[in-house]
Amino acid sequence: MASAKISNCLYVEAFDFRRIAEAPSTEELQRRVDAARDAVVGEWERRGDFVNDLSSLDFIAFSPNCAPFSIFPFAARTCVDLLIGATYYMAYLNLNAVGREFENRGWKVDQVVQHLKGESDREIVMRELQQGFMRVSKGSLHIDLAVPDFTRMQIEALREKTLIETCDATYRLGPRAGGFSQTVFRGEPAIWK
C-alpha cells in the first residue's frame, strides 16, 4: 500500500492485492491506511469540505467518460495489473478545494455539491450531479462543470489548474463560444487515433 497527497485537491491510495499477505496483519494494514487517509482526507472533512471517492476498480468495465488504462503513462505491466484487478487505487477529490482554486484564479463559485449528511441527502446530491459537480462564473459567463471532468481529475489525475485554464479559454472566446462542449485537451485527439 502506498498513498500520497497529489495536490491541494487530490489524495490517492494504491494497493497491490498480491502483496497484502506481506502485511504484518490485516488489522495493522487497515490501521496504517486509515491513519494516512485521516491525516489528509480527515482534515478536509473536519473542515466541512465535500470529498468524493472513486476506485479504479469501478472503471475496469468500459466507461465512455474515462480514458482506458492503456493510455496512461504507466508501464504495460502496470496497465495489465490495473485491468485484471491485481492492483487498484482509490482517489479522493476535495470539491471545495477545487472551488477555492477557481476563486483564487478570479472565478466565482455559484454552486457546489454539498457534503452528504444522510441517505436522503445522497438522493438530492445525485440529482445535482446530473447538472454537474460545480457551477462557476466570471462576468456574464456561467459554466456548469461536467461530472466527467471531475472524474478525470480523480481517475486520470487531471489537475484543477488545467480545468481552470480551459474555462479561462472559453471566457476569452466571449459570446462566440457557443453552447455545450466536451472538454478535450491539447494532444488528446492523437491519443484516441
Q: Write out pLDDT tens, residues 2-18.
A: 899 999 999 999 999 88
| Higher pLDDT among residues 176 and 125, named by residue | 176
Q: Write out pLDDT tens, residues 31-44.
A: 989 999 999 999 99
Asked if residue 179 has pLDDT above 50, the reply is: yes
How confident is the model at residue 43, as a pLDDT? Answer: 96
Q: Write out pLDDT tens, residues 54-96.
A: 888 877 765 555 556 656 667 888 878 887 888 889 999 999 9
**DSSP labels for 101-152?**
HHHHTT-EEEEEPPPP-SHHHHHHHHHHHHH-SEEEEETTEEEEE-HHHHHH
| Higher pLDDT among residues 28 and 64, named by residue | 28
Q: Model's pTM, two decimal places?
A: 0.76
| Higher pLDDT among residues 56 and 102, named by residue | 102
Asked if residue 139 has pLDDT above 60, the reply is: yes
Q: Which three cell numbers stand for residue 65?
A: 467518460
How confident is the model at residue 181, as a pLDDT? Answer: 53
| Higher pLDDT among residues 18 and 186, named by residue | 18
Q: Is 87 helix (H, G, I), strand (E, B) or coil?
A: strand
Banded model confidence at residue 128, pLDDT cuts 50, 70, 90: low
Report how far residue 81's alpha carbon sits from residue 175's, in angstroms, rounded to the nearest whole number. 46
Domain boundary assignment for the chain: 2-94, 95-178
Asked if residue 122 has pLDDT above 60, the reply is: no
